[in-house]
C-alpha cells in the first residue's frame, strides 16, 4: 500500500494540529480532503495545508473525496455517528477521544467497528504514544517494577486557561468528564484491570465561578479495580507553574513516576529564586510529539493491517468510568461501575 | 530555670534515640532517671547513658526521681495513664505518638492536661519539626502557595522491614493505625481543617501474609474536610528504594512538595544504571534531626512556659481519624468522622 | 518559492539521518537527488528514500540533478571543496560540521561564500538548534543571567562506543578535534567572544589503547577569551551512564545549566538502586530533534533568503580553536590563538 | 579517658560556632576555657557558653587553664605559632584551616606535630566530614566509580556577601587563597594524588571593585596531578541563588556529583516561576552538620588516640597549592608545583 490518503473532519485547535501532522510530518500519509462547518477552517485547509478538496458536509466528503481514511476531530458529540458513517463507507478511522458522550453512542460505534474487522479503528488516547509513557509501559512489561497495583495520577491545567474553562464549565460535563478521561485510560492501561468502584469529590477554593456553574475547580477520585488494584486521580485547573500531568505506577518491586516536574526542556536556571525548572505551558507543548506519534501509528496500522493498542472498548469504558466518577462526585458517595 | 531534668520511660529503639538526644544533644536537658520493665534496658541506661537512677516501676520513678519532666516512649497502650500520672505528679510531659489507642484513653489524657495548665504537655509528632516540613509550613503561612486545599501524602516503609511488619500485622491495629497517623496529623496541620468523611481501601499484591493476618500491605484513604479541602493518604510497606515519606500541599497559588525523592544525601551517582540518587533506609535515618529538634523544642517549652504547636487534642483527633479510616477500610465504604 | 529541492552528498549514518529528515520530515523540502561513492548507499536512496536520481560523482550531481541545494554529509576532508563547487554551481549549501580540517581549506570555503552572497550557506552546528540550547540562548538574550562570563562544558561519549573510538584513534585528529568542536562553538556562541589563549591536558585511565595511538581518553581545556571571559571544556569517551553532554553558562545575575542529567525521558524509576533517571544512549537519541530543526531552518533560510545564525567564519574559528587546543594538549602548555 | 576539656582560642563567627558545638553538642567534650583579644567575646563566653575561665592571652590560657586540648579559631596568621605553643604545652590541637599563610610557618607546625606524636593534631577541613562528601569518599573506596581521575569543583559565595568580600579584597590574599583551599583539599583527597602543575585565570564582570583591589571576582584553575589525573576549580563571589559548593569526581566506571543543586531542604515549590528548589544561604547553613561532626571526630581522636584523616602535611600542601595557583593567576601562565 502506498501513502494513506486521509480526509480530516474538524479543523479547530486540535484539528489543525492533527492536519498539520498528516500534511507535513507523517511520511506515509497524505492529507487529501478536509471537512468543516466553519468556512474559515476550510480556507485554512486550502491556504495553509494545500488541501483543495474541501467539504462543509461530512457525509459528502465520505462519498466524494479520494480518501482511504478519515481523522475525526470534531466536537465530542459528533464522534460516534461519524465513526459509524466512515466505517460503513469503507474508510479507516482515526477518532480523537472521547469515543462518545453517552454509553449508547459508544455501543453504536462498537457495533460499527465489529461490522468492519477489515478496517482500522484508532482512538486518540495520545498519551499512550508519548515517549515517556510508552517507555514506562515497556519497562513495566519487562518487569522493572514487578506487578503494578496502584496508579496515582494528576492532570492540572494551567491557571492561564482558567478563564476559558469557566466559560465552558456549565456545558463541559463537569471536571471529570472534561479532564480525567486520559488519566482514567492510563490507569486501566497500566493496571490491566478495570475499576469497579469509585469515590469522588470536588473542591473550589480559587474561582467560585466553577461552583456557580455546577462544576468544581479540582476533582479527586479514588478507584478500586477488579483485581484489587487501586487508583487515585487528581484533576484541576489552576496550576501556577504550567501544565502538570504526572502519573505514578506503584508495583511490587518498584515504582515509576512520569513527569513529576513538567519541565519545559533540559535547562535549569539558577537565579534569585533558587534552582528553577521552567514548566510546559499546556498540552500542545507537552504532547506535541505524542500527537505526531499516534498519527504515525494510525497510518502504520492502516498500511500493515496492524491492530492498534487502544480499542473501541477502551473508549466505551473510559466514558463509563468518567460518568460513574461524575455521579460519585455529584451525589457525594460511592458508585459501583458496571460495564 | 536551669537545665531541665528528665526521666525517660521506655528504652526500646525509639526510647534509646530520645534518651541519647536528651543525654547528649540537648544543651538545656539533663537525663537524670530512666524507667523500663526490661532489665537490659536499665543496664543500657547505666552504661551507655550514664544514668544511675533507674526504675522498673514508672510510678516509683515519678515519686522518687529528681526530675522536672518525663519522656514517655513506652508502648502505645501505656501512654495515656502515664501522661495522667506524670501530670498529676507535677511533671512536664513529652509523650511519643500516638496519644492513645482508644478515644476514651485520649479523653483521660485531655482531662489531665486541662487540669494542669501550668505544665507543658508535648506530643511527639516529630515530622512537624523536620526542617523541610517546618519550612513548608512557614512558607505556606507566608502565602507562598495561597490557600492550601489539598494534601497528598505517601508513607512507605522499605521492603527490608516487611518481614518484621508481617509478624506484627495481627496486633498492629492495621496499616492505617500503624502507619498513617503521621500523615493524618500533617494533613490536618497543613489544611487547618479536620476531615469529616473518609473512604479507604487496601491491597496486598506482594506478601499474602498481610492479608492472612487481616491486614493489608498497602492502604489508601481519601478525605473530605470540614472546609471543603481534600486529602489523600497512601501508606505501604514494600518500597524497593528505601523509606519513602512524601507530602504535597496544593494551594490556590502553587504547590509544595516535600521529599519526592527521599534522597540519602546530596550525592548523585552516574553509573551503568543511569543517574542515581540513593535513598534513606528508614525513619531513624530520615528523621534523626526531627527527633532531636522536637525534644529541644519540648525542653524550650518547659523552660519558657511556651505552648507547643501540637496539642493533646491533635493527639485525640489523629487517633479518631485513624480509627475512622480503619473502619472505612474494613467495611469497604465511607465513614463520617465525628469528634 | 515552492519546495526546496535538495541533493544529498554522503549517506553514512549521519547522512541517512539528514536524508530522512529531508525526505519525510521537512514539509518545505524535497529530496530529489543523492550522491555517494558507496553503491549500497545509493541503493538505500532508491529503496528507502524513494530517490531515483542518484550519482556516484558529486560534480555530476551538481551539474545534472534537479536541485536547488545540496546537503553535504561526506567525510570532513571533503567538505570545503564540495561547498565551493556547489556554491559556484549556484546551489544553496548545508554542510555538516566541521567546516574543514585545515585552516587553508576553510579560507577557500569562506571565499566561496563571500563570492555568493545571494546563496544560503548553512553550517551544521546542530546543538544550537536543540530546543534546550536555543531556549538557553534566548533566555540569556532576555537577560535572565545578566552578562555571561564563563562557560563550562562536558561532552562524554558512552563507554559502549569506546571500542570503536579506539580503532579510529590514530586517525581522528585527537580527542579535541574529534569531540570538542561543538563545545567550542557553543562557548563562543554563549560568550559572544573568541578565546585567545588555551591550556589543555589529557588523561587515559581506562583504555591504554588511546594512549598507545597517540590520543587520550579524556581531554580538558581551559580558555581565556578576548573580553576576559573564561571557558572550560571536558571531553571524554567512557561515560558509564550514557551520552553526557552538559553545558553551564555563568553570568553576572545567574547561571543556566543544560542537561546536568542527560535523561532519556521524563520517567523516574524507584527501585533497589534508588531513584533512577535512565540516560540517553548517544547523540542520535539526544539530538534527533536538533538535526530535524536545523535542517528545517536551512530550508527556511533558503526560502526566505534569511541569514543563518551560524556563519562560515564560525566554522573556521572553531577549527582554529580545535587545532590550538590540540597543540596545547600535545606540547603540554599554553597556546595563543590567532584568527 | 573521660570528657575532653577544651579551651577555645578566638570567638569570631566561626569561633562561636565551634564553641557552641564544644559546649553543647559534643557529648564527650567540655568547653572549660576561652581566649580572645576581643573583650566582648570573653563576655560572650561567660554569658552564652557558661565558661568562667577566660583569657586575653593565649599563652596564659595554655599555662593556667584546666584543659586537655585547644581549638584554634583565630585569624589565619596566628594558627601556626599557636599550634606549636599548644603542642609544646602538651595539649591536643584542633586548628581551623588554613594551616598557615606561609610555607615556612607550616613547616614550623609540621615540626611541632612531629615532636609530639603522642598528641592529636587535627586540621579543620570540615567538608571532609560533611555527610555527603564523606559518603562520596566511602562509595569511591568501595569502587562505585572505578579509579577517580578527574575532579571538577565549584565554590561560589552568594552575591549577598559580595560587599563584605570587596572590603576584604585587598588583604585577603586573593580569591584562590581566600576561597579555593577547601576545593584544593578535596581534589587531593579524592584523587589521592598531588597536583604538579597549575594554570589559572580570573575574571571580573560584575563588581569592578575586586579588580581595583588587585583581586578578581571569579577564579578558574586547572591542575595536572602526579599520577596524570586532572582537576578544575572554579571559585566565585556572586551566586544569585545562594551558596554554591559543588564537586564532581569522574572515574573510570562512573561519576559522582555532590550538590549540583545546593538545596536548602527537601521542599520543591511549584509556583509561577516553575518548579523551584530554594538554595542554602551560606556556609554556616550548608556545613552546620560538618562543623559538628569534625569536632566530634577530633574529640574521638583525642580520646582514642586515633589518627585523623587529615594530616598537618595536607595543610602545608593545600597552602602550597593555593600559592602556586595564585602565582599562575597573577602572572597569567603555568606554574609547576613543588612540595
CB atoms within 10 A of CB C164: 11
> Which residue among B224, B238, B250 places its CB closest to the CB of A201?
B224
Do D5 and D67 touch, CB atoms closer than 8 A? yes
Which of B261, B270, B272 is facing C275, going by the closest CB pair?
A: B261
pLDDT of residue D1 exceeding 70, the answer is no
Q: What is the pLDDT of residues B215-273, one digit of tens each?
A: 999 999 999 999 999 999 999 999 999 999 999 999 999 999 999 999 999 999 999 99
d(CA A228, CA D337): 68
Report residue C170's pLDDT band, with 50, 70 and 90 as the boundaries.
Answer: confident
Answer left, alpha or beta for residue A268, where phi above 0 means left and psi between -120 and 50 means alpha: beta
Q: How far apart are CA B214 and CA C151, in angstroms?
A: 60
The span from the CA of A36 to the CA of A49, in Å, is 14
CA A58 to chain centre: 22
Residue C303, Ramachandran bin (φ over 0: left; ψ between -120 and 50: alpha; else beta): alpha
Confidence band, pLDDT 50/70/90 cuts, at residue A2: confident
Residues of chain B positioned with their CB less than 8 A from the CB of A152: 152, 234
CB contact at 8 A, A9 and A1: no
Closest CA to C275 of D183, A260, B331, B290: A260
Contact D252 C230 (CB under 8 A): no
Which chain B residues have a beta carbon less than 8 Å from that of D144?
Answer: 269, 271
Mean pLDDT, residues B95-111 taken together: 94
Joined grid coordinates for residue A327? 455521579
Number of Cβ within 10 Å of residue B75's Cβ equals 10
Residues C305-314 have a mean pLDDT of: 94
- A239 membership: H or E segment, kind and range: strand A230-239
Burial bucket for residue D57 (CB in 10 Å: 0-12, 13-18, 19+): exposed
DSSP string spanning D166-187? HHHGGGS--HHHHHSHHHHHHH
Q: How distant is the Cα of D213 from the closest Cα of chain B, in angstroms?
A: 36
| Measured CA distances, B244 to A191, C175, C269 (Å) | 22, 43, 13
Q: Which of D218, D253, D260 has its CB closest to that of C260?
A: D260
Interatomic CA distance for residues C100 and C111, integer angstroms? 13
Grid coordinates representing C40 are: 549500497
Any chains having at least 3 CB pairs less than 8 A from chain A are: B, C, D
In chain A, what residues touch D259 (CB-CB under 8 Å)?
none
In the predicted model, is pLDDT for residue D133 greater than 80?
Answer: yes
**CATH code of domain A128-285+318-336:** 3.30.360.10
Q: How far is CA A163 from CA A203, A281, D3, in A?
A: 17, 15, 68
Using an 8 Å CB-CB cutoff, list chain B residues near A253. Answer: 240
Partners of chain B (3+ Cβ pairs below 8 A): A, C, D
Spell out which residues of chain A touch residue C266, defining contact as CB-CB under 8 Å: 132, 258-259, 263
Q: Which residue from A270, A272, A278 is facing D274, i.e. has the nearest CB?
A: A278
**What is the predicted pLDDT for the residue at D282?**
95
Residue of A nearest to C48 (CA): A27
3-state secondary structure C228-269: CCEEEEEEEEEECCCCEEEEEEEECCEEEEECCCCECCCEEE
Lowest mean pLDDT among A53-62, C24-33, C77-86, C185-194: C24-33
| Residue in B closest to A260 by C-alpha | B260
Compare all CA atoms of chain B with the CA of D286 and give the residue at the minimum distance. Answer: B266
Is the pLDDT at B135 greater than 70, yes or no?
yes
Taking the C-alpha atoms of residue C128 and residue C137, their distance in angstroms, rounded to an integer, is: 9
* Superfamily for the C4-119 domain: NAD(P)-binding Rossmann-like Domain (3.40.50.720)
Q: Which of B244, B267, B270, B300 to mutate to test the interface with D (most CBs of D within 10 A)?
A: B267
Sorting pLDDT into bands at 50, 70 and 90, what band is B1?
A: low
pLDDT number for residue D2 = 83
- Let me know if the fold of B4-119 is the same as that of B128-285+318-336: no
Q: Which residues make beta-bridge pairs with A93?
A: A70, A121
Q: Are C34 and C51 in contact (CB under 8 A)?
A: yes
Q: What SS3 state is found at A138?
A: helix
Using a CB–CB cut-off of 8 Å, the residues of A that contact B are 145-147, 149-150, 152, 199, 201, 203-206, 218, 220, 222, 224, 228-230, 232, 234, 236, 238-241, 250, 252-255, 257, 260, 333-334
Model confidence at B2, pLDDT cuts 50, 70, 90, reads: confident
Does the distance separating the beta carbons of A267 and C136 come in below 8 Å? yes
pLDDT tens per residue across span C269-306:
999 999 999 999 999 999 999 999 999 999 999 999 99
Q: Which of C146, C205, C222 sits opposite D220 (nearest CB)?
A: C222
Give CA B29 to chain center in angstroms: 21
Question: Per-residue DSSP letters for A55-120?
Answer: ES-HHHHHHHS--SEEEE-S-GGGHHHHHHHHHHTT-EEEEESPS-SSHHHHHHHHHHHHH-TTS-
Chain A residues with CB inside 8 Å of C4's CB?
none
| Residue pLDDT, tens place only, D291-329 | 999 999 999 999 999 999 999 999 999 999 999 999 999
* Interface A-C: count of C-beta contacts within 8 A: 79
- Alpha-carbon dihedral of residues B51, B52, B58, B63, nearest 10 degrees? -110
Q: What is the pLDDT of residue C1?
A: 67
Higher pLDDT, B197 or B172: B197
Chain C nearest-CA residue for D216: C228
Mark out chain B residues that contact chain A at CB-CB < 8 A.
146-147, 149-150, 152, 199, 201, 203-206, 218, 220, 222, 224, 228-230, 232, 234, 236, 238-241, 250, 252-255, 257, 260, 333-334
- Contacting chains of D (3 CB pairs or more, <8 Å) are A, B, C
Span C112-126, average pLDDT? 97
Residue B289 has pLDDT above 90, yes or no: yes
- Local confidence band at C171 (pLDDT 50, 70, 90 cut-offs): confident
D241, D270, D272 ranked by CB distance to A274: nearest? D241
CA-nearest of D282, D294, D278, D239 to D124 is D294
Residues of B33-43 as b/e, b for ≥16 C-beta within 10 angstroms? bbbbeeeebbe
The percent of residues above 70 in pLDDT, for chain B, comes to 100
List all chains that touch chain C, counting a touch as 3 or more CB pairs closer than 8 Å.
A, B, D
What dihedral angle (degrees, nearest 10) is formed by the CA atoms of A234, A237, A238, A242? 90
Say yes or no to pLDDT of D278 above 80: yes
Q: Hey, are the CB atoms on B271 and C240 less than 8 Å from each other?
A: yes
The answer, yes or no, to whether residue A45 has pLDDT greater than 90, is yes
pTM: 0.96
In 3D space, the residue among A309, A328, A338, A330 whose CA is nearest the CA of residue A185 turns out to be A309
Q: Which residue of C has its CA nearest to B159?
A: C272
On chain B, the residues whose CB falls within 8 A of the CB of C277 are 274-276
What are A's interface residues with D at a Cβ cutoff of 8 A?
239-242, 244, 261-264, 268, 270-279
pLDDT at site A80: 97
Q: Could you tell me which residues come within 8 angstroms of residue D318 by beta carbon, excluding any fewer than 6 positions away?
A: D97, D98, D99, D125, D181, D184, D185, D188
Mean pLDDT, range B144-170, rounded to an integer: 96
Q: What is the pLDDT of residues D137-192, one digit of tens each?
A: 999 999 999 999 999 999 999 999 999 999 988 888 899 998 999 999 999 999 99
Size of interface B-D (CB pairs under 8 A): 81
Asked if residue B201 lies in contact with residue B194, where contact means CB atoms within 8 angstroms, the answer is no
For residue C113, CA distances in Å to C60, C94, D90, D301 come to: 21, 12, 79, 72
Cβ(C247)–Cβ(C259) under 8 Å? yes
The confidence score (pLDDT) of residue D170 equals 87
DSSP state letter for D206: S
C124 beta partners: C96
- Check whether the bond before B83 is cis (ω within 30° of 0): no
Higher pLDDT: A27 or B177? It is B177
CA–CA separation, A236 and D9 (whole Å): 59
d(Cα A249, Cα A231) in Å, to the nearest integer? 9
Chain C: residues touching A (Cβ < 8 Å) = 23-25, 27, 131-132, 135-136, 139, 144-145, 253-260, 263-272
Tell me whether strands C218-225 and C195-203 are parallel, antiparallel or unpaired.
antiparallel
Helix or strand (DSSP H, E) at C177? helix C175-179
Determine the average pLDDT of the residues in A152-162. 97
- The grid coordinates listed for A12 are 479547530
d(CA A180, CA A226): 20
pLDDT band at C124 (very low <50, low <70, confident <90, very high): very high
Q: Domain coordinates of chain C in residue numbers?
A: 4-119, 128-285+318-336
Indicate the helix (H) or strand (E) that contains D296: helix D288-304
Task: Check A268 against C257: CB less than 8 A apart.
Answer: yes
Q: Does the distance separating the beta carbons of B334 and A205 come in below 8 Å?
A: no
Q: Which letter, b or e, does each residue of B193-209 get, where b requires 16 or more Cβ atoms within 10 Å of its Cβ?
A: bbbbbbbbbbbbbbbeb
H or E stretch covering B315: helix B312-331
Confidence at A153, pLDDT banded by 50, 70, 90: very high
Kindly indicate the confidence band of residue A27, based on its pLDDT and cuts at 50, 70 and 90.
confident
Q: Per-residue pLDDT averaged across D79-105, rounded?
A: 96
- Indicate if the pLDDT at residue D275 is higher than 70: yes
The residue-averaged pLDDT of C176-204 equals 97
Compute the Cα dihedral for C102, C103, C106, C111 and give only its sign. Answer: negative
The grid cell for B45 is: 541506661
Do D145 and B263 make contact, defined as CB atoms within 8 angstroms?
A: no
Give the span between the Cα atoms of D192 and D178, in whole angstroms. Answer: 23
Asked if A268 contacts A278 with a C-beta cutoff of 8 angstroms, the reply is no
Q: Which residues of D touch A277 (CB under 8 A)?
A: 274-276
Instruction: Tell me what the mean pLDDT of segment D88-93 comes to.
Output: 98
Choose among C127, C211, C110, C205: nearest CA to C169: C211
Mean pLDDT for all residues in chain D: 96
Residues of D at the A interface (Cβ-Cβ below 8 Å)?
239-242, 244, 261-264, 268, 270-279
Element (H, E) at B47: helix B39-48
Cell 602545608, residue? D316
CA distances from A67 to A3, A36, A49, B105 (A): 10, 16, 16, 76
Amino acid at each position: 500500500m502506498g501513502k494513506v490518503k486521509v480526509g480530516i473532519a474538524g479543523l479547530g485547535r486540535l484539528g489543525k494540529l492533527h492536519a498539520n501532522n498528516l500534511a507535513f510530518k507523517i511520511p506515509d500519509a497524505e492529507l487529501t480532503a478536509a471537512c468543516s462547518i466553519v468556512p474559515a477552517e476550510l480556507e485554512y485547509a486550502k491556504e495553509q495545508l494545500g488541501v483543495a478538496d474541501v467539504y462543509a458536509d461530512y457525509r459528502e466528503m465520505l462519498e466524494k473525496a479520494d480518501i482511504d481514511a478519515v481523522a475525526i476531530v470534531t466536537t465530542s458529540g459528533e464522534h460516534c455517528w461519524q465513526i459509524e458513517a466512515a466505517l460503513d463507507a469503507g474508510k479507516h478511522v482515526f477518532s480523537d477521544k472521547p469515543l462518545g458522550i453517552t454509553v449508547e453512542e459508544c455501543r453504536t460505534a462498537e457495533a460499527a467497528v465489529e461490522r468492519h474487522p477489515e478496517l482500522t479503528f484508532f482512538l486518540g488516547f495520545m498519551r499512550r504514544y508519548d515517549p515517556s509513557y510508552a517507555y514506562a509501559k515497556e519497562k513495566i512489561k519487562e518487569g522493572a517494577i514487578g506487578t503494578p497495583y496502584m496508579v496515582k495520577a494528576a492532570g492540572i491545567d494551567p491557571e492561564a486557561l482558567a478563564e476559558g474553562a469557566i466559560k465552558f464549565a456549565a456545558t463541559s460535563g463537569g471536571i471529570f468528564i472534561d479532564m480525567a478521561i486520559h488519566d482514567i485510560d492510563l490507569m486501566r492501561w497500566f493496571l490491566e484491570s478495570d475499576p469497579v468502584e469509585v469515590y469522588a469529590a470536588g473542591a473550589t477554593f480559587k474561582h467560585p465561578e466553577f461552583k456557580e456553574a455546577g462544576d468544581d475547580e479540582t476533582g479527586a477520585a479514588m478507584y478500586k479495580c477488579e483485581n484489587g488494584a487501586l487508583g487515585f486521580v487528581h484533576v484541576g485547573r489552576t496550576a501556577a507553574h504550567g501544565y502538570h500531568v504526572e502519573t505514578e505506577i506503584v508495583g511490587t518491586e518498584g515504582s515509576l513516576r512520569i513527569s513529576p516536574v513538567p519541565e519545559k526542556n533540559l535547562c535549569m536556571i539558577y537565579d534569585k529564586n533558587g534552582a528553577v525548572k521552567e514548566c510546559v505551558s499546556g498540552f500542545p507543548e507537552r504532547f506535541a510529539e505524542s500527537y505526531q506519534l499516534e498519527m504515525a501509528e494510525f497510518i502504520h496500522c492502516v498500511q500493515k493491517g496492524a491492530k492498534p493498542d487502544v480499542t473501541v472498548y477502551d473508549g466505551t469504558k473510559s466514558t463509563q468510568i468518567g460518568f460513574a466518577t461524575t455521579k460519585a462526585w455529584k451525589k457525594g458517595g460511592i458508585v459501583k461501575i458496571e460495564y
